[in-house]
Amino acid sequence: MSLVVDTIESGYDRAPILTGVSLRVDPGEMVAVVGSNGAGKSTLVRTISGLLAVRSGAITVDDVAITKLAPERRARRGVVMVPEGRKLFPQLTVGENIAMGRRAGRGRTSGEDPVDALLDTFTILRERWGQQASLLSGGEQQMVALVRAVAARPRYLLLDEPSLGLSPLKTLEVFQLIELVRERTGAGILLVEQMADQALAASDRAYVLEHGKVAMEGDAATLRASDEIRRAYLGVA
């Protein structure tokens, strides 16, 4: 029972970007993917969510192949992504954005609604409920994007650079929210970040992506401590 990416190749029109990437996310686990700009991190999550076609290799969710499914069908199976740049529906309200998230989770609504718990903690979203999404601040938008994803009842959550463009304070808040999401939903989370230090600190395991390949993988704490990582990604000479 996990999300398994097995030696996939994918990319855009021309040469493939990802060449033979494999990884695994277990339920309830937080897995970081770090790597420099252009390494292929977004390409990876877009491929898992179905926005990009897999050229070879396979993706399975809890032992069921989803390699050929359209994005909407993957979402309905619980593979939910928060895209880079949040991608809220700009002219919908906060409430409507979250209602859209619920559509993917319609078939899987057992248990208590995790959205309520998040809204109770981050009450600002309740205040903004009727506001148009494009009028929110960057941090608020990221929160709405996360809550929208939670509304989709994710079994596996793919987060593409949730800290992008946020102040350190806001970044902290977003990471708190992500932790809460993991607690409340029990979903496996694949966290793509350029902020490698924070991402590694928050995660159980991690993969390092370089030029479309997995260069390193292992226990997040171990990687965070390794010299190589510190030099390449954590800005330590």
Chain residues binding Mg ion by CB under 5 A are 42, 84
Q: Which of 6, 26, 96, 217 binds another protein (CB under 8 A)?
A: 96
Query: Closer CB to Mg ion, residue 84 or residue 113?
Result: 84
Q: Which of 55, 103, 126, 231 binds another protein (CB under 8 A)?
A: 103
**Binding residues with ligand ADP: total (CB under 6 A):** 10
End-to-end C-alpha distance for the chain, whole angstroms:
40
Q: In Å, what is the CA distance from 143 to each residue of 18, 82, 113, 121?
A: 29, 10, 17, 12
Query: x/- contact string, 19-58, with ligand ADP (CB under 6 A)?
Result: ----------------x-xxxxxxx---------------
Looking only at the bridges linking them, the beta strands covering 79-82 and 156-160 are parallel
Q: Specify the stretch interacting with another protein by CB under 8 A; choose among 36-44, 74-82, 183-191, 229-237.
A: 74-82
* Of 226, 211, 219, 171, residue with least CA distance to 41: 211
Give min distance, CB of 183 to Mg ion, in A. 26
* Sheet with 16-25, side-by-side order of all strands: 16-25, 3-11, 54-61, 64-65
Which of Mg ion, another protein, ligand ADP, none does residue 90 bind (CB under 5 to 8 Å by kind)?
Answer: another protein
The reply on whether position 154 binds another protein by CB under 8 A is no
Query: x/- contact string, 46-65, with another protein (CB under 8 A)?
Result: ---xxx--------------
The reply on whether position 100 binds another protein by CB under 8 A is yes
Place of tokens 């529906």: 89
Query: Closer CB to another protein, residue 115 or residue 223?
Result: 115
CA distance linking residue 98 with residue 107, whole number of Å? 16
* Of 135, 131, 95, residue with least CA distance to 115: 95
Residue 154: CB atoms within 10 Å: 26
Which of ligand ADP, Mg ion, another protein, none does residue 103 bind (CB under 5 to 8 Å by kind)?
Answer: another protein
Place of tokens 């292992």: 218
CA distance linking residue 208 with residue 223, whole number of Å? 9
For residue 133, give the amino acid letter: A
Query: Closer CB to another protein, residue 159 or residue 232?
Result: 159
Q: Which residues bind ligand ADP (CB under 6 A)?
A: 12, 17, 35, 37-43
